[in-house]
Structure 1
């Protein structure tokens, strides 16, 4: 009985593997790249003020 069950299991596995593939073309969706907006000019002003503060502290 075990041999019959094993044979049936192997036959079932082999028959499902035969239909596992597809002939449809593979559809690859394009990758969405989100680009952050450029920083505003106020951020550049903050960096400039920090640089001036560091230079002033270093010269003291």
Structure 2
């Protein structure tokens, strides 16, 4: 029984020793996302809101 426990411990230690490889780690370059902003997009929503409010006032 004692030999079985020692053998199991050695097998577990040996399997973790071979888990990695000696290859160089692959490091991927970072992805840079540039946000494009437009000056018209900042005014589009308030203008659309004014049109909707004006249409609601005209309809009543």
Q: TM-score, normalised by structure 1?
A: 0.52
Runs of at least 5 residues in structure 2 that lack an aligned partner in the other structure: 47-60
- Partner residue of 2:10? 11
CA apart distance, 1:27? 0.4
CA RMSD of aligned residues (A): 2.3
Q: Structure 1 runs of 4+ off > 4 angstroms?
A: none
CA apart distance, 1:15? 1.1
Runs of at least 5 residues in structure 1 that lack an aligned partner in the other structure: 47-60
For these two proteins, the number of residue pairs brought into alignment is 45
Range with bigger deviation, 24-33 or 12-21: 12-21
